[in-house]
Amino acid sequence: MKAISYSAYGSADVMEYGERPDPKVGPDSVLVKVRAAAVNPVDWKAREGYLQGALDAVFPVIPGWDVSGVVVQPGVAVDEFAVGDEVIGYVREDFLSRGTFAEYVAAPVRTLARKPLSLSFEESAGLPLAGLTAYQVLHRTLKVREGDTVLVHAAAGGVGSLAVQIARHTGCRVVGTASPRNHEHLRSLGAEPVEYGEGLVERLRDLVPEGFDASFDTVGGDALRASAETLAPGGRLASIADDEVFSYGGRYAFVRPDAADLAQVAELAERGIVTVHVDRVFPLEEAAEAYRLNQEGRTRGKIVVTVDWEAP
Mean pLDDT throughout 288-296? 95
Q: Position 200: which residue type? A: L
Among 34, 301, 30, 5, which Cα is nearest to 154's? 301
Does residue 311 lie in a domain region?
A: no
Q: Count the domains in the chain.
A: 2
Residues 87 and 48 grouped into a single domain = yes
Q: Which domain holds residue 220?
A: 130-252
Does residue 96 lie in a domain region?
A: yes
Residues 191 and 221 grouped into a single domain = yes
Residues 220 and 189 grouped into a single domain = yes
Does residue 266 lie in a domain region?
A: no
Residues 8 and 105 grouped into a single domain = yes
Residues listed for the chain: 312
The CATH number for 157's domain is 3.40.50.720
Does residue 37 lie in a domain region?
A: yes
Has this prediction a pTM greater than 0.85?
Answer: yes
Residues 96 and 141 grouped into a single domain = no
Among 33, 300, 60, which Cα is nearest to 162's? 300
Residues 110 and 175 grouped into a single domain = no
Residue 190 confidence class, pLDDT cut points 50, 70, 90: very high
Residues 112 and 136 grouped into a single domain = no
Does residue 10 lie in a domain region?
A: yes
DSSP-assigned letters across all residues of the chain? -EEEEBSSS-SGGG-EEEE-PPPP--TTEEEEEEEEEEE-HHHHHHHTTTTTTT-EEEEEEE---EEEEEEEEE-TT--S--TT-EEEEE---SEEEE-SSBSEEEEEGGGEEEPPTTS-HHHHHTSHHHHHHHHHIIIIIS---TT-EEEESSTTBHHHHHHHHHHHHHT-EEEEEE-GGGHHHHHHHT-EEEE-STTHHHHHHHH-TT-EEEEEESS-THHHHHHHHTEEEEEEEEESS-GGGGGGT-EE------HHHHHHHHHHHHTTSS---EEEEEEGGGHHHHHHHHHTT--SBEEEEE------
pLDDT for 309 beyond 80:
no
Instruction: Report the C-alpha gap between 190 and 64 in whole angstroms.
Output: 30
Residues 8 and 123 grouped into a single domain = yes
Instruction: Report the C-alpha gap between 14 and 49 in whole angstroms.
Output: 12
Residues 146 and 118 grouped into a single domain = no
Residues 122 and 6 grouped into a single domain = yes
Question: What's the confidence (pLDDT) of residue 299?
Answer: 84
Question: What's the confidence (pLDDT) of residue 310?
Answer: 60
- pLDDT tens column, 83-136: 999 999 999 999 999 999 999 999 999 999 999 999 999 999 999 999 999 999
Question: What's the confidence (pLDDT) of residue 306?
Answer: 98
Residue 166 confidence class, pLDDT cut points 50, 70, 90: very high
Does residue 79 lie in a domain region?
A: yes
The CATH number for 294's domain is 3.90.180.10
Mean pLDDT throughout 173-180? 97
